[in-house]
Amino acid sequence: MSLALSTNTAASTPAPLSSRPRAHRPGRLLAREAGFTLIELELLVVLIVMGILLGIAISSYVGARERGELAVAQPRVRVIIPSIEAYAADEGTYAGMTVAILRARYDRSLDDASYRFGRLTSSSYCVQSTAGGQTWRKPAPGEPIAAGACP
């Protein structure tokens, strides 16, 4: 009988608080639901870093593209100048000169769409090239290449 009594006593003794199951109350989070896990925080940090790097890369790409477009139009003007001077030496004038004539006689790499002539006289010319919104011109035989269109 003492055995039965001791079994009843053990069953009626309350369990320690840490081993009791908690009842979930609506509107309150359990301790394990209270925040981000370490993995979630690491993923968040990785996404933020990737976003920053992507922003830097895009701004660098845009700047490089603009510099590249600027670097295309100005050398194009330099490319056509020897053909222009050769034409003037052969014909004695700049008048009547076209990109098609220069291409046929002096430089087959010249492209009609890349150049436009302004005024052409017996002693002067203006040639321009546009690439990527940048226009460069050589306004006269003795003048330097400058930004802008021919008048």
Tens place of pLDDT per residue across the chain (151 aa): 444 444 555 556 665 655 655 555 565 555 556 677 888 889 999 999 999 999 999 888 888 877 776 677 788 899 999 999 999 999 999 999 999 999 999 999 998 888 999 999 999 999 999 887 788 999 989 899 988 999 8
What pTM value is reported for the model?
0.56
**22 part of a folded domain:** no
**150 part of a folded domain:** yes
d(CA 85, CA 67): 29
Please tell me the total count of domains within the chain: 1
Strands 146-147 and 115-120: unpaired
Q: Which domain holds residue 134?
A: 80-151
Q: Is 92 left (phi over 0), alpha (psi -120 to 50) or beta?
A: left
**19 part of a folded domain:** no
pLDDT at 30: 55
